[in-house]
Structure 1
Amino acid sequence: MTDIFDDLKAEYEQLDAVLAGLTPAEWSHASAAEGWTVSDVVLHLAQSEERAAASLAGEDVMIRRKPAADGEPGRESDGEPGRESHGAPDRESDGAPGRDGGAPGRESGGAFGRDDGASGGESGDGVLSREPVTNGASGRGSGRGEVGRGVDAAADARVAAQRGIAPADLLARWRRAAFAIPDALRAQPKGTRLSWVAIPLSPATLATTRLAEHWAHAYDITAPLGIPYPDTARLRHIAWLGHRTLPYAFDVAGVEGGPVYCELTSPDGELWRFGDPAAASTVTGPAADFCRVGAHRLAPADSTLKATGPYGAKALAVLRNYAL
């Protein structure tokens, strides 16, 4: 199995092939991300990759909570102390899941206080991802909570401030930012933590989040245009992320959760296993459906996934490929 950095580059290449063939009308076409055109989505991706580059350069790119005033909710800001997220995965080395899907690369202990690979201390993927309304799935900001809505608003503002870039220039900008990221992440010394949206991430975890975000937004671009975007074995990283973030997802949603074992079928028919087979709750079915439910591009009821036990259906209800 190729490592996460190679797979991230491959995901960029697959999306690049789509973007290179778009017509001017397709660049200005509405995307599946509510209120955004295809150009807006690519601009958002370019801005997110530039944020990753800034983190690699040592800048603080975390989005933190500003104190509330006059009883109003706090708002998102850069560079001020904020609420810490916890309980989601971390990856060391190449970050690839183990052969059975349930054992990722070596991890540092964190919220669960374990160093044996059970969980790390980072907060999911920190994706800045606007959610489409798709077949009854959550709309933008739905289920994300106040913090998530603030991140969506920040992404909206950044896109609005730079909207109108010519497609050729926008594509060149995204390419410059994106294709420098995999090797830069791979080159980081072991033990490095990089500033990101919620809390610092290891290079391999940040790579996983970049893959997850580009895959989800590739749907936003290609689905409305009727352009094929075949699923690949790279979904294994995203499925790993969704499963390992479940304790965090239960916590954020305020839902009682517990161990969930997943048996997911890859696009090429391989069986991927995540979690303890002895768990009382299970989720089985296509990995692509699992990942789309986690990206809020597919409602659980519209998927072919099967959930059993006390936490199976709850897991699908809160599943997310992002931390906020």
Structure 2
Amino acid sequence: MTSRSLLDDLLADLTAEGDALRAVVTGLEPDDWATATPAPGWSVAHQVAHLAWTDEQAVLAARTTDPERWPTGKADWDAVVTAALADVDGFVDAGAEELAALPVEELVSRWDAGRTALGEALRAVPDGAKMPWFGPPMSPASMATARYMETWAHALDVYDAVANPAAEGGRPLPTDRIRHVAHLGVRTRDFAYSVHQQEPPAEPFRIELTAPSGETWTWGPEDAEQRVSGSAYDFCCLVTQRVHRDDTDLVAVGDDAEHWLTIAQAFAGPAGGGRDKR
């Protein structure tokens, strides 16, 4: 698969996940947007606002890669970095707060525009170029994967807030699109250790997950001593910190593998607080 076809597939899955969330929030009453979600201090509006804000920042980052197409791209991104450095711990939440305060129609319009602009900007990044970000530079495919992961994870918070999962509705049935989240969760193993100021194990782990379709997804050497197996959905919820470790069916073989499952995170930034045990 070429890098362009990979990006097209990723963007198609990102669009599908965003469309699923949009279909749910479009049906909400205005007051429902203030409903608290499982993320402390964040309402439904905050969740959508965070997605919209981050998409907009990703567009600005992509536009640094082609000065002829986007002559102000670098200056626009430098302004973002300056603002981030002025409030390292709070600038992401501040972005969500700002957009969440908009009228619902305007927030949804901003989100729609950002989703469209992101796809166009990522497709326009020159071959081989990487985008600056708040961590290491990213390829368009890596950015699309990260945006998929966040869209999927924040959508879960919205679904949990506005519908009873035990009743009709609630969380949609998972699809094999979540492979993007699982892949990112595996690749960020060492990052999870670093944010906890711990040394990652030298040896790779074997990961064997059962996809929603029943397919088996694997990573790592077959003979690895440290192993993780179980539901891909549970693994994705865990690495996005949408479920407590004890509420998953994941089986760890080896102390290192078990410890990793208690600190895993596929998202950038400081260590998250995770979720309480049910």
TM-score range, shorter chain: 0.7 to 0.9
Say yes or no: does 1:295 pair with 2:240: yes
Larger RCO of the pair (alpha carbons < 8 Å, separation 6+): 1
- Output the CA distance in 1 between the equivalents of 2:149 and 2:220: 20
Please report how far the alpha carbon of residue 172 of structure 1 lies from its aligned counterpart in structure 2 after TM superposition.
1.1
For 1:178, the equivalent position in structure 2 comes to: 115
In the alignment, which residue of structure 1 is the partner of 2:273?
none
Decide which moves more: 48-57 or 10-19. 10-19
1:252 has 2:260 as partner: no
Give how far 1:62 is off.
9.5
Aligned length: 244
The alignment-based identity, stated in percent, is: 34
Q: Which residue of 1 aligns with 2:43?
A: 37
* Structure 2 residue 136 is the aligned partner of structure 1 residue 199: yes
Structure ranking higher in helix proportion: 2
Give the alignment partner of residue 105 of structure 2, picking from 147, 168, 178.
Answer: 168
Q: How far, CA to CA, are the matches of 1:318 and 1:48 in structure 2?
A: 24
**1:116: which partner in 2?**
none
- Say if 1:163 and 1:218 are closer, same or farther in 2 by CA, change over 3 A: closer
Flag structure 2 segments of 5+ consecutive residues without an equivalent: 1-5, 65-73, 164-169, 270-278
Of 64, 70, 85 in structure 2, the residue corresponding to residue 77 of structure 1 is: 85
Aligned amino acid, residue 145 of structure 2: T
Instruction: Please tell me whether residue 314 in structure 1 is matched to residue 259 in structure 2.
Output: yes
SS where residue 176 of structure 2 aligns? Answer: coil
Does residue 20 in structure 1 map to residue 20 in structure 2? no
Note the aligned Cα RMSD (angstroms).
Answer: 2.3
1:169-248 equivalent positions in 2, closer than 5 A = 169-226=106-163, 227-248=170-191
User: What is the TM-score with the length of structure 2 in the denominator?
Assistant: 0.81
Q: For the Cα contact (< 8 Å) 2:205–2:257, is it kept in 1?
A: yes
Indicate the SS of the match to 1:3.
Answer: helix
Paired residues of 1:43 and 1:170 also in contact (CA < 8 A): yes
Change (3 A) 1:161 1:224: closer
Aligned to 1:7: 13
CA distance in 1, matches of 2:200, 2:136: 24
Structure-2 separation of matches of 1:10 and 1:160 = 26
